[in-house]
């Protein structure tokens, strides 16, 4: 589909989810949006097949 990066956000208290994202290759990135339950942002570069 042509995407080169995946981004997501979550809350700081979701420790297990944050650990999963880090294990899956995501890294903390600067904020890209706002919302009432958004406290941390992650991004991951995608590779092409």
* pLDDT, one tens digit for every residue, the chain (49 residues): 889 999 999 999 999 999 999 999 999 999 999 999 999 999 999 987 6
Give a yes or no: residue 11 inside a domain: yes
Q: Which two tokens stand for residue 37?
A: 């339950």
Q: Given this model, what pLDDT does residue 2 score? A: 87
Measured CA to CA in angstroms, residue 43 lies from 17, 30 at distances of 14, 9
Could you tell me which of 49, 18, 47 has the C-alpha nearest to residue 8? Answer: 18
Question: Does a structural domain hold residue 45?
Answer: no
Residue 4 counted as domain residue: yes
Residue 6: other Cβ atoms inside 10 A: 13
Domain enclosing residue 16, as ranges: 1-25
Dihedral angle sign, alpha carbons of residues 9, 22, 46, 43? positive
pLDDT of residue 1: 80
The pLDDT of residue 47: 85
Domains in the chain: how many in total?
1
Assigned domain for 3 exists: yes
């Amino acid at each position: 589909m042509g995407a080169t990066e995946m981004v997501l956000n979550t809350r700081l208290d979701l420790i297990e989810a944050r650990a999963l994202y880090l294990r899956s290759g995501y890294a903390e990135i600067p904020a890209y949006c706002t919302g009432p339950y958004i406290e941390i942002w992650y991004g991951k570069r995608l590779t092409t097949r």
